[in-house]
Structure 1
Amino acid sequence: MRVRPAEPKDANLIAAIYNQGIEERSSTFETTPRSPADMLERVNSMKRYPVLVMVDDADQVVGWAGLSSYRARACYDGIADFSIYLDSSIRGQGLGKQLLQSLLKEAETHGFWKVLSRIFTFNHASLALCEACGFRQVGVYEKHACLEGRWLDCAIVERLFPINQPA
């Protein structure tokens, strides 16, 4: 498996993988499936917020990870939210670590000083992945949102990069 920047041609499979996560109700509060056009818009905004894909030997997308804006205020320009989704057929093989580490390198290259996310507290695989990639859990948002009548807590994870300060 290898990781590369997402291309417009990848939007169909990125949407399909994201829709698996939406259907499973294990990693996002989203309930509306995403179309390829939705994901193409995200791929096309990669200048500031990269989207990477993991591809197999046939160049078929089997996972994706991306950065997005944390908050609109200028003081938060160096902070990005991240998302990562793997096709159900490849989960549990340690491939998420390769993809997330690649995304973290991109984040640092793009000048972010912090990457963070909110993860359902019952999503042990994602929490373990974050820990393995150097994230720390900084707290829990209790009853962060309601998903199909069930209030869910989210762990807040962050990974900081060294900040180059002027001498």
Structure 2
Amino acid sequence: MNILIKKAKLEDAEAITEIYNQGIDERASTFETKQKIVEEITDGIKGQGERFPILTAHSEHNHLIGWASISSYSPRDVYKGVGVFSIYIRRGYRGKGIGKKLLQALTEEAERIGYWKLTSRILEFNAASRSLCISCGYREVGIYEKHSKLEGKWIDCVVVEKIIQKNIN
């Protein structure tokens, strides 16, 4: 499958919202429980700027099938080179290598911007996301035990990170 990766545009907000809400409904990718509305995602796209990109993956028919983003790890200046990434793939397109292309592109974008590390937290039972990160050179750092209570059940999450060697001085 040919995949085109590009920076998110305002017209992508509806599709990004739909994909994110799939992840919320499935309870396997995020601790978020409240459905997003298009206006929230639109605001995020408007505010992405250079430091916090949102990338989208499109099929050969220009159908938006995934997205990934970098957000702030901390407002403290000493962490300016650490970003937190998120990645979501549309149901029906998972397991086809789209996530890998998108995460590789996001990591390259982070390198270009000057990040020295990307990190994320993955729900411990989400084997697909953990495998994706490992295949892209991320390492599992450790486990946050009982990190959140989702629908009455304690959930652990795995911390992953990748050092971007080019930006380590």
TM-score (norm. length: structure 1): 0.96
C-alpha separation in 2, matches of 1:131 and 1:140: 15
Return the letter of the residue paired with 1:24.
Answer: E
C-alpha separation in 1, matches of 2:168 and 2:160: 22
1:5 is the counterpart of 2:21: no
Gaps of 5+ in 2: none
User: What CA deviation, in whole Å up to 9, does each residue of 1:107-135 have, x standing for no partner?
Assistant: 11111000000001100000000000000
Corresponding residue SS for 2:92? helix
Change (3 A) 1:92 1:164: closer
8 Å CA contact 2:116, 2:168 repeated in 1: no
For 1:10-159, list aligned pairs within 5 A: 10-47=12-49, 48-159=51-162
User: What CA deviation, in whole Å up to 9, does each residue of 1:70-128 have, x standing for no partner?
Assistant: 11111111100000000011001111100100000011111100000000110000000
Gaps of 5+ in 1: none
CA RMSD of aligned residues (A): 0.8
Return the letter of the residue paired with 1:61.
Answer: L
1:164 CA drift (Å): 4.5
C-alpha separation in 1, matches of 2:106 and 2:41: 17
TM-score (norm. length: structure 2): 0.95
User: What CA deviation, in whole Å up to 9, does each residue of 1:52-81 have, x standing for no partner?
Assistant: 000112212110000000111111111000
Return the letter of the residue paired with 1:46.
Answer: Q
